[in-house]
Amino acid sequence: MALEKYMAIAGLVLCIFFVAEIFTLFNFMIEPEDNDSFGFEAAPKIFQFVSLSIAPATIMFSVSFVLSKRYGSRFNGTLIIIGGIIVLVGMSYSYTMIEDLKPTLVDSTVEMTPLIFIGVSIPIIAVGARLLKIRPRKPKKDYLDDTDRF
């Protein structure tokens, strides 16, 4: 496999990782084991999850797209679309989980994160679809070339 395929696979795995992290955090925030004394804040954890998973995933998808946009790649386009769909469905579900969270732990970061990444997933899907539509270019023939090629 070429480098762009490995990068698309890595981006897909990082998308799955991000959705799993948000699910885990929100599940913890539903029943926080009644330990309010340790001062839990969700915002630093969410920023950490974003910087460890979805930001690198977006970069991986971008580099994979740039490397394969000249010839098109159904495999890369499909992986990018699947990654966008995973983020879209995962963030839609996590948005429904917000009403079950303990109210003292909910802040603006918790409320905005699913909405932001629902918005981010749509361009990811569009980029993957564009990669599916690209057809390989035929090489240009130089009819005026006089050199003999053996």
Amino acid 40: pLDDT: 79
Cα gap 45→143, rounded to integer Å: 61
pLDDT at 148 exceeding the cut of 90: no
Domain boundaries along the sequence of the chain: 3-30+41-133
pLDDT at 103 exceeding the cut of 60: yes
Return the percentage of the chain with pLDDT > 70, whole number: 86
Return the percentage of the chain with pLDDT > 90, whole number: 61
HSE-CB at 70 with a 13 A cutoff on CA atoms is: 6
Q: Is 122 helix (H, G, I), strand (E, B) or coil?
A: helix
